[in-house]
Structure 1
């Protein structure tokens, strides 16, 4: 449609669906509860089904990318509960025409409390006034560094980074708002070089953000893609197509409290009508897993989980994490 002069997709960081969602599972070892509707309808178990290829070609913008040559400003959340922050690796380089990314630090899928709208306003102002957009590019070195080259001088450049010592998981709902930033100065050539040290434990996500004064009411912020080091997937060999089970992980007041809760698992299973219910603990951390109800109800997964969480809160537990597993057992249990 020639009337579409630009597009600004928000937080749908799943272009090229199949490798993106395979990456999601290989990173987490389970399906995030935010994609529960797709798990419930067994879509995630059928990623390799021959007919899925026809569906991808129908609904996935990746297969229409040759038509999407207009300017594109793709805004994503660094702590999205649906998609991994490094998901643009599966599509951005393949997009045609003028294109920009922005990963919003410390924001989840709703972008609440962020300045994302300001960047959208700035970009739209440039489009509507037919003004040129800032020109810059970046490469990634073997040591993980970003090398950012600019034709138009940015007002400010920052390196954002967050480390999770336990999992390759940067969702706000699990890690919190842990991204911090440092200023990056240009070298003599006007190039910006930024990187991070590989963490002693866990994973670090990072990206470079450029802020431009474009003459609009608000500044324009654009970024590189997000890179994660080490670039390893802890569950790359895990089968994502097994029957779904549900896990709840939480922290009790202390190890004794955790042991008492686990000891009452039979009573809990009967009270909450949980099938194939298992419970264990490591220190104060508690792990529960069960087979979901055989129903098409929207509460198939979350209903029993919320009831169990309510019971556990009454016992002084906190730090809840809900996981949709492939097969029995709790991913990450120690």
Structure 2
């Protein structure tokens, strides 16, 4: 038996032990608790805007990887303090991306303007940490990488080490950087206004939304999650659903195909990776309120990906699926910012959020989606779209360029809207049938209230017919095909 087989056998034994005892947050918690002297902050600018004061700090959080070849992660911290603070013990912390070459944050940055607006509307402190993860990094073969390449390389390093060194996973320093930012914000706010921050709402897009889940799993200060473009909770189930819908891997995931990450699916090292990174592994610790936002045309996952996790997550969970947009949500960024602020305001004020339930009844290739709400909505609409052909169950806004000239090209998928059928003040429905060829997706969107306090929620997506075109697509048969 060679060395690799011995190592894999040992890993199998360890995984069996973990499975018997249940999933543990110990590896992630241990890493966060591990002492790291590479953190600190320095005030570099402050200015006034719309009855707030904006403070900008340089901030260092962790050294990753540890050792001589690691990089000290450098960030900016932006803290917006309103002139009147109503919610003295709470902060909304936005986890932002960015690179080491970014300039000092200012009102020229859209996210800073949203922080100011959120602070003004809610009378609460808003903050942001930039550069999560730091990029570019040079930890692999001294070649700088962007964040997708960094993540894929970290997975590769972990898997090739037979899943024994969790610190190789880039999510670990990302989580630690956010928690250290929470510590720094707490310290800074105490010094600025004397308030003791005890609660954090966390928001972020893509892997930053993913990290927000993991932070909430191990830090009791988090009481609200707002993950954007993070519709892959339930990692392995999501991957299977992805492959069986598309017959391959979406172009946007090509760094993971190139790094041969997909080929590890079904192995013990991959199972260990999932056990520490999948938010569902920590679901018993994720009872906080969640407002999950993603585009119906996101290239990372099919729009009905919520079937893998939404009902499994504890707590009060809300969806907001955005029509006619892609993974970046760039066509609706201002609208989404206002929706997040409105949700946060309602959450802070203690007003009861609407209770929304929905049921689907299906007959042949037709389905009726019924929605019940505890509060009367101001507007209820059904959104629907068809696939451009009968080959793939594919509602992505962009897909791989068949000619190979570009990474991706726009796809003719358009979401249309119509009024939902009103049964009474709190019950609505939409009856939809499958098209003659291909697939049709639909969901119901509801608005509650008006102006700065308007809330927007949706059901999950139903797709007709309820069939997957590539049931035989597995990691072995089509896991490396880019579509």
TM-score (norm 2): 0.49
Indicate the SS of the match to 1:72: strand
User: Which of 211, 219, 222 is matched with 1:4 structurally?
Assistant: 222
SS of the residue corresponding to residue 53 of structure 1 reads helix
Equivalent position of 2:396 in the other structure = 171
Q: Which residue of 1 aligns with 2:471?
A: 236
C-alpha offsets along residues 18-76 of structure 1, whole Å, 9 cap, x if unaligned?
Answer: 01111111111111110111111211122211221111110010111111111111111
Choose which of 346, 350, 356 in structure 2 pairs with 1:126: 346
1:27 corresponding residue in structure 2: 245
After superposition, what is the alpha-carbon deviation per residue over 1:191-216, rounded to whole angstroms, capped at 9, x for unaligned? 21113111100001110101111x66
The question of 1:159 aligning with 2:382 is answered: yes
RMSD: 1.8
- The answer to whether residue 274 in structure 2 is matched with residue 67 in structure 1 is no
SS in 2 for 1:30: coil
Q: Quick one: distance in 2 between partners of 1:54 and 1:245?
A: 22
Cα deviation for residue 234 of structure 1 reads: 0.8
Q: CA deviation at 1:177?
A: 5.0
- Unaligned residue ranges in structure 1 (runs of 5+): 247-322, 325-334
Higher relative contact order (CA 8 A, sep 6+): 1
Alignment of 1:144-293 (within 5 A): 144-166=367-389, 167-174=392-399, 175-188=411-424, 190-213=426-449, 217=452, 219-242=454-477
Question: Shift of the alpha carbon at 1:117?
Answer: 1.9
CA distance in 1, matches of 2:297, 2:393: 12
Structure 1 stretches (4+) deviating beyond 6 angstroms?
Answer: 243-246
TM-score, with normalisation over the residues of structure 1?
0.70
- For 1:49, the equivalent position in structure 2 comes to 267
> In 2 relative to 1, CA 132–245 (structure 1 residues): closer, same or farther, beyond 3 Å?
closer
1:14 aligns with 2:232: yes
Give the match for residue 315 of structure 1: none
- 1:65/1:216 Cα in 2 relative to 1: closer, same or farther (>3 Å)? farther
Q: Do the aligned partners of 1:164 and 1:204 also contact (CA within 8 Å) in 2? A: yes
- CA distance in 2 between counterparts of 1:245 and 1:156 reads 44
Task: Say if 1:165 and 1:201, in contact at 8 Å, map to a contact too.
Answer: no
Deviations 1:119-172 (A, max 9, x none): 211111112222221122111112322110111000000100000141311111
The Cα shift of 1:238 comes to 2.6
Counterparts in 2 of 1:176 and 1:83: CA distance versus 1, 3 Å: same
Instruction: Kindly state the Cα deviation for residue 189 of structure 1 after the two structures are TM-superposed.
Output: 7.0
